[in-house]
Amino acid sequence: MTLLDGKQTAETIKEEIAAEVEAIKAAHGKVPHLAAILVGNDGGSQTYVNNKVLACERVGFDSTLIRMEDSITEEELLEKIEELNNDANVDGFIVQLPLPKHIDTEKVLEAVNPSKDVDGFHPTNVGRMVAGLKAFLPATPYGILQLLERYQIETKGKHCVVIGRSNIVGSPMSILMAKNAYPGNCTVTICHRHTENLAQFTKQADILIAAVGIPEFVKADMVKDGAVVIDVGTTRVPDTTRKAGYKLKGDVLFDEVAPKCSFITPVPGGVGPLTIAMLLKNTLSAAKKEVYHN
Ligand SMILES: Nc1nc(=O)c2c([nH]1)NC[C@@H]1CN(c3ccc(C(=O)N[C@@H](CCC(=O)O)C(=O)O)cc3)C=[N+]21
C-alpha cells in the first residue's frame, strides 16, 4: 500500500508556482492577486480561507480576504462581486461556500466574471470543461488528477467509481475521469444516495473516489483488493482530547480499508492541501490569461 501524499505533492506544486511568480515579477513588476469573500463565521470555512491566504503568501501572490456579516443582503454581496469583477488588480476571486440560506448561491456564482472564476463554479466554466474547451477546473477534481498523474497511476480502461454527485466534486470528477486524456479514459460509474446496492458497484472499482461527506462511510467490504482509493471527505468531528476541539474524518474508514489498497489518500494531508494548491494554479493561469485572453 502506498500513501498518496497530498501535502507533499501540494508543496511541490506550490514551489513550481512560486518559481513562476518570480519570473512574472521580474518581467512585469507585479504578482498574481487572489481575493476571497467569506460570508459569516463558519469554523470550517474560516480555516480553509485562512489556509488559502497563507498559501498565497507562500507562493508570493497578493491576497485579499473580504469578510462580510452573515446578515448581509444578496444585493450587497452581488455589489461586492461586481467590484471585484471590475478591479484590474484582482486576477481571480472566490466566494467561499456555503452561503447563508437567504442568499441564492446560483445567482451569486453566475455573477462572477468567468475569466476571474478561479473556483471554476460559473456555468460558463462548467460548460467549457464538459465541452473539452479551456476552462478553470474546479480545484478539488483538478487536484485529484494531479495526484494520479504525479504518482503515475494507470487510468486508461480502468473502472472509476465516484460516490457523490455534487457540482463541485462528484459531477466534474466523473466527467474528467471519462475524458480522452491522461489521467482519464476510465469507464465511470456515478453513485449517489439513491443507488441501490452501492457495494455491488464500489467493489468493482479500480479507482474509487469517495465524495459523500459522511465520515467513515466506505468500509473494507466495499473495496476491491488492490484498488486506488481517493478520500475527498473532511468532516469535523468533535474531539475534546484535542487542542482544536475536533478531529478531521474522511469518507473512508482508513485503518480498515488501507491494507487492501494499492494507493490511498490520508485525511488530513490528502486531497485538502491539493485543493488549495490548484486554486493557486488557477489564479496563476488567470494572471497569465491562459484560459480567457481578454
Ligand atoms: N468557494 C469554495 N471553494 C472551495 O474550494 C471550498 C469552499 N468554497 N467551501 C469549502 C470547501 C472545502 N475546502 C477545503 C479546502 C482545503 C482543505 C484542507 O486543506 N484540509 C486540510 C486540513 C485542514 C484542517 O485542519 O481543517 C487537510 O485535509 O489536510 C479542506 C477543505 C474547500 N472548499
Which whole-number Å values give the CA distances from 182 to 43, 83, 176, in the listed order? 36, 38, 10
Q: Is there a binding annotation on residue 166?
A: yes
pLDDT of residue 187: 99
Residue 120 in domain: no
Residue 43 Cα to ligand 1 middle (Å): 11
105 lines ligand 1 (CB under 6 A): no
Q: Are residues 145 and 61 in the same domain?
A: no
Q: Is there a binding annotation on residue 164?
A: yes
CATH code of residue 179: 3.40.50.720
Whether the Cβ atoms of residue 271 and residue 11 lie closer than 8 Å to each other:
no
Ligand 1 atom nearest to CA at 268? 29
Look up cell 472499482; give the residue. Answer: 205
258 lines ligand 1 (CB under 6 A): no
Residue 235, helix vs strand vs coil: strand
pLDDT of residue 43: 82
pLDDT of residue 214: 98
Query: Please, which pLDDT band fits residue 86 given cuts at 50, 70 and 90?
Result: very high
pLDDT at position 294 over 80: no
Q: Are residues 147 and 70 in the same domain?
A: no
Q: Are residues 250 and 199 in the same domain?
A: yes
Domain span at 221 = 139-271
Query: Please, which pLDDT band fits residue 192 given cuts at 50, 70 and 90?
Result: very high
Q: Is there a binding annotation on residue 2?
A: no
Q: What is the pLDDT of residues 53-67, one digit of tens each?
A: 999 999 999 999 999
Q: Ligand 1, atom 12: nearest CA belongs to which residue?
A: 48
